[in-house]
Amino acid sequence: MNFGTFMEFHARPCRSQAEDFAEAWRQVDLAEQLGLDAIWMAESHFTPERAVLTSLMAVGSAIAARTKRVRIGTAVQVLPLTDPMRMAEEAATLDQISGGRLEFGVGRSGSPAAYDGYGIDYSTSSERTFEDIKILVSAWTNERFSFKGKFHSYDNVCLVPKPVQSPHPPLRMAANSAASFPVVGKLNIPLFVGVRQHDTSLVERYVDSYQVARMAAGFDGPPDVSLRVPVYISESREEAESAPEESFMKQFRRLGGQIAETAGRTDVAHDTERSARSAELAQLSWDNVRREKAVVGTPEMVIDRVNELRERLKLTSIVAEFNAGEGISEDHIARSMRLMCEKVMPAFK
């Protein structure tokens, strides 16, 4: 299994955005030093109280310049918010700068807020995403190509530069609704999943539906599934089970509120499913979060929990969110990262 850190370049109260970036660079350096497999960047827009990471390609290039071995991932690049040809150029450039270390995670985002800010119709997000993927792969793998789609058209263009990795940087796609898992499975694109909005048992069924669709489309072998999950590790069980409560619960309350705000919008599909998620998140207890939606405990407890999740969700990698809710201190983030690398990862390598 591979292990990575999920980074939003989080904001903290009463400090400058330059200080937000400075803390994030220290965590990037620590990830490289400790031996984490990957740094996964989250795209976040118009949320200054939460994060300052909006330009994944620019920040990814800076990460590439200050590291030598850690892989650099997007979790995820929201494709419909930019022109796909420009995105293909920038991603290929990052792959060149990093010496072939880019992991290209994509999605459409479950929140319409960024689309509102950019003036893009969220109801077109799914169609745009799949069209953009076709364009990206064609641009990367052909010397020249032409394309005519619903949203974009290109005539005999040559992408420069081409990526280092052949045929292209590894793709990974986020899926969150019941309908999306089989669609991604038919395309044989590796998965990003989460247990923030669903219990593990439901995500397990969704992953099964992905694998059934994948095999029906003629793709053999086990699935490739990566899980984003809040993680807090301490040598003290008592501390691990209590210290992250306020910060982690803040994230789940916020998520429930965001889903509730969008559940009635006509441009958002799966309205009934969103309403159910919002209601479930509003009733969450810390005990439920610890059992179902996070990985907290001593290194030994974390090893057991990761083993369980690996078995049930067919996991090939964990993307650890060490500061879910933005309330975990920098020292405690660093401690969780160290314990992950020194005590947990060796059990899976």
Domain match, 217 and 256 both: no
Residue span of the structural domain in which 265 resides: 245-289
Q: Is the pLDDT of residue 271 over 60?
A: no
Widest distance between CA atoms in the chain = 62
Beta-carbon contacts of residue 119 (< 8 Å; ≥ 6 apart): none
**Residue 269: predicted pLDDT:** 63
33 and 127 share a domain? yes
For 94-121, how does the pLDDT look when each residue is reduced to its tens digit (9 = 90+)? 999 999 999 999 999 978 999 999 999 9
Residue range 275-314, pLDDT digits in tens: 677 777 778 999 999 999 999 999 999 999 999 999 999 9
Question: Which token pair is 10?
Answer: 């989080």
Work out the burial of residue 13: count CB atoms within 10 Å of its CB; fewer than 13 is exposed, 13-18 middle, 19 or more buried. Answer: exposed
Is the domain of 137 the same as that of 259? no
Name beta bridge partners: 85: none
Region 64-88: mean pLDDT is: 98
pLDDT at residue number 263: 66
Residues 264 and 206 in one domain: no
> Sign of the CA dihedral 285, 291, 293, 262?
negative
pLDDT, position 198: 86
In a 3-state reduction of DSSP, which class is residue 173?
strand
> 150, 171 in Cβ contact below 8 A?
no
The pLDDT score that the predictor gives to residue 283 is 82
Q: Do 144 and 256 fall within a single domain?
A: no
Q: What is the CA radius of gyration of the chain?
A: 20
Q: What is the pLDDT of residue 266?
A: 72
Both tokens assigned to 346: 């060796």
Give tens-digit pLDDT for 157-208: 999 999 999 999 999 999 998 999 999 999 999 999 999 888 899 999 999 9
Clarify whether residues 209 and 274 are in a common domain. Answer: no
| 221 shares a domain with 173 | yes
CATH number at residue 297: 3.20.20.30
pLDDT in tens, 204-256: 999 999 999 999 999 999 999 999 999 999 999 999 999 999 999 999 999 88
Count how many domains the chain has: 2
**CA angle, 317 as apex, 100 and 245 as ends, to 5°?**
120
* pLDDT, position 272: 56
- Name residue 15's beta-bridge partners: none
Structure pTM?
0.95
Beta bridge partners of 99: none
Residue 63 pLDDT class (50, 70, 90 cuts): very high
Tell whether 220 and 112 lie within a shared domain: yes
Residues 193 and 335 in one domain: yes
State the first-to-last Cα distance of the chain, in angstroms, to the nearest integer: 7
* Residues 297, 285 within the same domain: no
| Amino acid occupying residue 278 | S
Split at pLDDT 50, 70, 90, the class of 49 is: very high
Q: Are residues 266 and 142 in the same domain?
A: no
Return the pLDDT at 62: 98
Same domain, 320 and 171: yes
